[in-house]
Structure 1
Amino acid sequence: MATAVACLGTSDFYSALVDALSATLPIDYPQVWQYTRDKPEPVVVFHRLNGARREQQVEEYVAGAFRQDPFYRLSRNGDLGTGLSHWRAAANSARSEYYDGQDVCDEVVFVAQVDEQTRLHLCLMRSRSGTHFSDAELDQLRACSPMVVQLLRQHATLVRKAKPSIEAGVRKAVGLFGESLLTARERDVLELMLGGYATRFAADKLGISTETLRRHRKNIYQKLDVSSQSEVFSLFINSLGCFDAAPNQDPLRGYFGHQGANKHL
């Protein structure tokens, strides 16, 4: 926990907090979700998932599965208090239905009320191949719950104070990225790519077929002279330095101009 405290306000905080909690008990799928009262869609703040697990527990959740999540429903209705809440697969048939097909047999959630609008859920799940949280482990988690909830609140407050201008700058850069080269629809697709959306979820969000989305993505790759989504991410990150110098134009203008100048040196 001392390491988690030292990481308050930094990008390492959630990882350090999960490491502290998992030092004495196994955790398979740790996640942190943010729920905002006036925004129905939750936002994933932290997770350690990849492949099929990420698609199921993050992408499908954001795409709409969250509406069946018992913890989401209770929190949304004001029936889930701050502190530790526990769910077990065999304990309630209504809740078990939500977890059908998911590799989850047991889950505990630390709920932190950041302000009147915002809640954070630190979710600790166990896979079906493992064991349920024992009574002793649940007692241990309840004992540290006040500290965990307070740490979640403090971190969210520190991040909110420290990074509003950075977050606004990144959002602006995403909105302008590719403006000088791409069509409006291609920029819509590019923005969802930068947001980490999988193909079918991006297509659903834009109301187009997956084949149409793939065609737009192919055109984007050609125009940006890249061959993969990871290269798009790298190009965006590398171009941010040029955005600082000219914050009201496509950062690629300055980046490609700088690259061209370097070729002639």
Structure 2
Amino acid sequence: MADVTEREALAGTIAALGGEKFAPALYGWLQHICPIDNITIIAFFQDRRPEVFFSHAKEKRVFEKLESDYIQGAYLLDPAHRLHLDGANEGLYCYRDVAPDHFQRTEFFATYYGRTTLVDELIYFAQPAPGVSITLCIGRDATSRRKFSAKAVAQARSVAPIVTALSKRQWHDLKSTESAPSDPVPETLRERLLSERDISLSPRQSEIAFMILQGHSSVSIGLILGISPQTVKVIRKQLYKKCMISSQAELFSLLTPYLLDV
């Protein structure tokens, strides 16, 4: 890569459009923009589980559980997937800015994200078709153990229009049978708990339960739902009582198996 200029790398990426060499070429070009330790390209759909199009990392732990855990259900708790459900604007996002305020306190972070050794991540977000999103994540992990500097983020953001345009062209033929944003998880959790555990949660309780798993604090949940933090705490207490649990860890253990069937 040292013998190839940035412009030559970009030209090679454009030339690789439509083929299997596009993703590796894109990764090579992005290395010229700012040093990165890993990359993963994932497509999110409204009607099925995500698909991994490309991943590369020197540190094996980064993607060790990608296919076995993440794709099978853990993605539902990932802030990157939230961008898809929210129909976010195309561009570059800092993972730490889109993650819920208590994300690093969640069981998802402890059992999955924390074990990847990722220390920082940037997300290029594009929407090539209705109901379809592409997240191209570049990260820093145990390889360098460095977060992205303000300069590196600015450099990455400066090429966001190019990255999103190339991604949309490469994957323009992706399809989803559903195009309207939807989040079936809270209702699915509510139905499964009732049928399999005889636990009857209200729609609001199941909604808050899922938001707790995602890493939202009572304040954050209140702001999103338009209710007071104290009301959230009351509902959370009622939720725990119905489920006969007393901690977020127990809530995670109770609900995680049902995420696999969403």
TM-score by length of 1: 0.54
CA distance in 1 between counterparts of 2:63 and 2:16 reads 25
Classify 1:24/1:116 alpha carbon distance in 2 versus 1 (closer, same or farther; 3 Å).
closer
Does 2:149 align with 1:134? yes
User: In the TM superposition, what is the alpha-carbon distance from 1:29 to its structure 2 partner?
Assistant: 1.9
Does 2:35 align with 1:26? yes
- 1:42 paired residue number: 50
TM-score by length of 2: 0.55
Aligned residues: 159
Match of 1:95 among 93, 103, 116: 103
CA distance in 2 between counterparts of 1:73 and 1:88 reads 13
Match of 2:70 among 57, 61, 65: 61
- 2:170 paired residue number: 155
Contact 1:109 1:121 in 2 (8 A): yes
Local SS of the residue matching 1:88 = helix
**Aligned-partner residue type, residue 171 of structure 2:** A
Q: Which runs of 4+ in 1 moved over 4 A?
A: 49-52
Of structures 1 and 2, the one scoring higher in RCO (CA 8 A, sep 6+) is: 2
CA distance in 2 between counterparts of 1:21 and 1:123 reads 11
- 2:180 paired residue number: none
Does 2:98 align with 1:83? no
Which runs of 5 or more residues in structure 2 are unaligned? 1-9, 176-256, 258-262
User: In the TM superposition, what is the alpha-carbon distance from 1:22 to its structure 2 partner?
Assistant: 0.9
- 2:122 paired residue number: 108
CA distance in 2 between counterparts of 1:132 and 1:113 reads 27
Deviates more, 1:121-130 or 1:27-36: 121-130
Classify 1:34/1:131 alpha carbon distance in 2 versus 1 (closer, same or farther; 3 Å).
same
CA distance in 2 between counterparts of 1:43 and 1:13 reads 16
CA distance in 2 between counterparts of 1:74 and 1:146 reads 17
Contact 2:46 2:131 in 1 (8 A): yes
User: In the TM superposition, what is the alpha-carbon distance from 1:160 to its structure 2 partner?
Assistant: 5.9
Which runs of 5 or more residues in structure 1 are unaligned? 162-203, 205-265
**Aligned-partner residue type, residue 102 of structure 1:** T
Identical pairs, percent: 28
User: In the TM superposition, what is the alpha-carbon distance from 1:75 to its structure 2 partner?
Assistant: 1.9
1:98-247 equivalent positions in 2, closer than 5 A: 98=109, 99-128=113-142, 129-157=144-172
Classify 1:86/1:144 alpha carbon distance in 2 versus 1 (closer, same or farther; 3 Å).
same
User: In the TM superposition, what is the alpha-carbon distance from 1:118 to its structure 2 partner?
Assistant: 1.1
